[in-house]
């Protein structure tokens, strides 16, 4: 019996991967959304803990709070969007998922199949988003904040490029 369950699991994994590739066009919006949201949230949180932003926030006391609130808003919007996209994908693929039940898969196996598809797409998008967010934080920290200094003349150049030496 355990060997049969192991074979069934491998088959579900293969079927999930095949379905995710076949539904790539439908998952594209989901993928891009997760990449952008992960990058945005990572960048916001990276900025909150940045030394340069800490120096800047001495002059602008509400800056860390504004960044945290923007990050929280991005999390809430992303959660709603993932929920909406998942519901859309379920309704779009209801016939296919119903066919799986008709050929003998149990409801929990079909749910696991759909979960594995979303896990594969979401995991890849999350990794790409974290890499993009890390690059964004590095880019923001390394840029020259001339416009900030012009807007706030008494502000020291805390976002100036780091010097190598």
Q: How many CB atoms lie within 10 A of CB 105?
A: 19
**C-alpha–C-alpha distance, residues 131 and 119, integer Å:** 18
pLDDT beyond 70 at 72: yes
Work out the pLDDT band at 108, boundaries 50, 70, 90.
Answer: very high
Helix extents (H) in the chain: 2-22, 24-48, 51-57, 63-92, 94-102, 107-142, 146-151
Residue 91: what are its φ and ψ, rounded to 5°? -70, -35
What does the alpha-carbon distance between residue 36 and residue 81 come to, in Å, rounded to a whole number?
12
Which residues does 116 contact at the CB level (< 8 Å), separation at least 6?
Answer: 12, 13, 16, 17
Question: 12-62: per-residue pLDDT in tens?
Answer: 778 777 877 787 787 888 888 889 888 988 888 887 777 766 676 666 677
Per the model's pLDDT, the better-predicted residue between 138 and 126 turns out to be: 126
Predicted pLDDT at 143: 65
Q: Model pTM greater than 0.85?
A: no
Average pLDDT, integer, range 83-108: 87
Specify burial of residue 133 (Cβ count, 10 A radius: 0-12, 13-18, 19+).
buried
Give me the torsion for CA of 113, 116, 120, 122, rounded to 10°. 110
| Rounded-to-integer distance, Cα 114 and Cα 94, Å | 11
Instruction: Return mean pLDDT, the chain.
Output: 76
pLDDT at 53: 67
Q: Which residue has the higher pLDDT, 163 or 56?
A: 56
Span 5-23, pLDDT tens digits: 444 555 777 877 787 778 7
Q: Do residues 39 and 136 touch, judged by C-beta distance below 8 A?
A: yes
* Contact of 31 with 121, CB cutoff 8 Å: yes
């Amino acid at each position: 019996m355990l060997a049969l369950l192991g074979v069934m699991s491998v088959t579900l994994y293969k079927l999930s991967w095949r379905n995710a590739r076949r539904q790539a066009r439908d998952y594209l919006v989901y993928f891009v959304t997760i990449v952008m949201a992960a990058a945005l949230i990572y960048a916001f949180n990276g900025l909150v803990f940045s030394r340069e932003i800490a120096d800047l926030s001495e002059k602008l006391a509400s800056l860390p709070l504004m960044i945290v609130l923007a990050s929280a808003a991005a999390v809430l919007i992303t959660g709603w969007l993932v929920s909406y996209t998942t519901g859309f994908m379920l309704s779009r693929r209801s016939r296919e998922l119903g066919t799986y039940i008709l050929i003998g898969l149990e409801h929990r196996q079909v749910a696991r199949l759909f979960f594995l598809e979303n896990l594969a797409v979401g995991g890849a998008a999350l990794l790409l988003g974290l890499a993009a967010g890390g690059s964004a934080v590095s880019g923001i920290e390394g840029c020259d904040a001339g416009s900030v200094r012009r807007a706030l003349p008494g502000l020291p150049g805390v976002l100036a490029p780091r010097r190598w030496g």
